[in-house]
Amino acid sequence: MEAAWAGGVRYFDTSPWYGLGLSERRFGQFLHNQKRDDFVLSTKIGRLLKPDDHFNRPLLWKDYPPFRYEYDYTASGTRRSIEDSLQRFGLSRIDIVFIHDLSSDNEDMKNDWTRYFEIAMKGAAKELTKMREEGLIKAWGFGVNTLEPCLRALEESDPDIFLAATNYSLIEHEDELNRLFPACDKRGVSIVAGAPLNSGFLAGVDRYNYSDKIPEKHLAKRDRIRAIAARYGTDLRTAALQFCAAPSTVSVVIPGARTPQQVNQNIASMKVRIPDDFWSTLKSEGLIASNAPTPKAAS
């Protein structure tokens, strides 16, 4: 976090889900020393944390605190979640709140996500709109890994912004580009591009979208793009991050990082000038969509 701040990063995203409250506590400890108007902070609702010394489910994190989680997309649950987050942060307001993981790829929900969605439309969406009017938050939307919840939310509610993860990257982007972007542009809704490196895959890690199972076609595509990037004097990570930042619909790109070195590498990637011919080559070889926005190299 110190490396990110020193490098000029001023937008931070977290969730009660990350480490079962641990991430929010860490952000609060760090941001406590910064002026509140100097940064933008987003978190999420959808899971309430309950004390439970016996909860021992295998999760992504080590040494998480003694809490279990319960899904709650009601108005009262949303209000409680925000109040809990503010306590963990030690702050009086949150800038952006995302309705989290309400999606068919959530293993706890799968095809039952539509039932949770209806609850969220009657509860969380209206309560977040009310909080926006109160000034407790500035904006809200959905934070999900699939497009359908976002598209439905645009039809049935009044979101400001979406955190759309895993669906817009060098590897896969056509669906979001052609379906979600136009719908958002029509409503003036922006997008936070999450997982721009596909969980590190486009930085050379053998993991794709939170899984060790990598489709062979993605491995082949990565190799081809990496080779072309090398010809033009750049690297895969740099190309991936700049690609995700290029669309006007995208307001910010949020790559993850585990170390200060990774933070600094991500920051450095956004300052590199990539030749226009690199993007033209990717399009001519069918590696990115012909209508995909691309960065313009400074003259």
Three-class HEC string of the chain:
CHHHHHCCCCEEECCCCCCCCHHHHHHHHHHCCCCHHHCEEEEEECEEEEECCCCCCCCCCCCCCCEEEEECCCHHHHHHHHHHHHHHHCCCCCCEEEEECCCCCCCCCHHHHHHHHHHHHHCHHHHHHHHHHHCCCCEEEEEECCCHHHHHHHHHCCCCEEEEECCCCCCCCHHHHHHHHHHHHHHCCEEEEECCCCCCHHHCCCCECCECCCCHHHHHHHHHHHHHHHHCCCCHHHHHHHHHHCCCCEEEEECCCCCHHHHHHHHHHCCCCCCHHHHHHHHHCCCCCCCCCCCCCCC
- Enter the pTM of the model: 0.96
Are 254 and 226 contacting, i.e. CB atoms less than 8 angstroms apart?
no
9-137 against 166-288: fold identical: yes
Domain 9-137: what homologous superfamily? Answer: NADP-dependent oxidoreductase domain (3.20.20.100)
208 is catalytic: no
- In the set 13, 72, 101, 235, the catalytic residue is 13
| pLDDT for 298 | 56
How far is it, in rounded angstroms, from Cα 167 to Cα 100?
16
- In the set 11, 44, 138, 296, the catalytic residue is 44
CA 48, distance to chain mean position in Å, is 20
| pLDDT for 296 | 84
18 is catalytic: yes
71 is catalytic: no
| pLDDT for 63 | 86
Query: What tens-digit pLDDT sequence spans the chain (299 residues)?
Result: 999 999 999 999 999 999 999 999 999 999 999 999 999 999 999 999 999 999 988 888 888 999 999 999 999 999 999 999 999 999 999 999 999 999 999 999 999 999 999 999 999 999 999 999 999 999 999 999 999 999 999 999 999 999 999 999 999 999 999 999 999 999 999 999 999 999 999 999 999 999 999 999 999 999 999 999 999 999 999 999 999 999 999 999 999 999 999 999 999 999 999 999 999 999 999 999 999 999 986 54
How far is it, in rounded angstroms, from Cα 57 to Cα 54?
9
How far is it, in rounded angstroms, from Cα 197 to Cα 148?
22
The fold adopted by the segment(s) 166-288 is: TIM Barrel (3.20.20)
Q: Where are the domains of the chain?
A: 9-137, 166-288
- In the set 11, 18, 50, 232, the catalytic residue is 18
Are 103 and 113 contacting, i.e. CB atoms less than 8 angstroms apart?
yes
